[in-house]
Amino acid sequence: MSKEPASSLVPSEVEGRGAKHASVAPGVGEGGACVARHVAIIMDGNGRWAKKRHLPRAVGHQRGVESVRRLVRAAREMGLEALTLYAFSTENWRRPEEEISDLMGLLKRFIMSDLDEFAANNVRLKIIGNYKAFPNDVIDLVEQALARTAGNDGVTLAVALNYGSQDEIARAAVRAAEKGPVTPETISAELDTADLPPLDLLIRTSGELRLSNFLLWQAAYAELWFTDVLWPDFKPEHLEEALSAFAKRERRYGGR
């Protein structure tokens, strides 16, 4: 199990967490295993999944949305407090216009089809990144979904839209400087993720071993888990496998 946090920037083990794992103490599972509160995923491999099947990339993204749906349900059932998904990066604007438009369409359809389920199941939607750069119809839908789920206090589904970690840190540093001294703590307090539990586990699918400008600050003490599974094939069992591996890790936060 984790040793004492070294500063306020490392995960506190004394705050509350989701119901299912809270059998011993917050952040501690049966037998003293580490229990993740906040998991983030770089959902990669939609294009390769489609290519292997001689299908258009758009079909890979559609299947990717089905994985998102399964994973949100699983996260809720597993008692996670937050699931953060990298859906559209600041670099994704470099993709062909048609693919960008497919991704926007999928996001809209996802919100329209799943919002009732989120509302009914106490899922709070949150966006990280500057989604205001998206088309107005996407912004309107996102804002309706944010407003409708704002009072929910079950799992938070944080979707990264037009998100880049370096951009987030720069924005946070500017806001921190406007308020007073710039320190790691004051920057942390201004990050898009400031109201989420500390990041415990960062997963990337599809065999790529990079962070790709995702949650760089938050990943300082997160555990990393990589899998060759392509995102459309990612199932709740894979999340369970990652959480089991996480439970066996010894987190020292720079201490001994």
Residues belonging to the active site: 44, 92
Dihedral-angle region of residue 196 (phi above 0 means left; psi in -120 to 50 means alpha; beta otherwise) = beta
List the interface residues with ligand FPP, window 38-57 (CB under 6 A). 43-48
DSSP designation for 159: E
List the interface residues with ligand FPP, window 14-43 (CB under 6 A). 43
Q: Which residue has the tokens 């506190």?
A: 12
Backbone angles phi, psi at 163, to 5 degrees: -105, 135
Q: Least distance in Å: CB of 57 to ligand FPP?
A: 6
Residue whose Cβ sits closest to ligand FPP: 47
Residues 75 and 89: their CA atoms lie apart, in Å, by 23
List the interface residues with ligand FPP, window 209-248 (CB under 6 A). 231
160 binds ligand FPP (CB under 6 A): no
Q: Least distance in Å: CB of 130 to ligand FPP?
A: 16
Q: Least distance in Å: CB of 127 to ligand FPP?
A: 10
Residues 215 and 76: their CA atoms lie apart, in Å, by 22
CB nearer to ligand FPP: give 35 or 158: 158
92 binds ligand FPP (CB under 6 A): yes
Exposed, middle or buried, 234 (CB in 10 Å: 0-12/13-18/19+)?
buried
Q: Least distance in Å: CB of 2 to ligand FPP?
A: 30
Q: Which residue has the tokens 């720079």?
A: 254
Residues 164, 182: contact at Cβ < 8 Å? no
Site residues for ligand FPP per CB under 6 A: 43-48, 61, 64-65, 68, 85, 87, 92, 103, 106-107, 110, 159, 206, 231
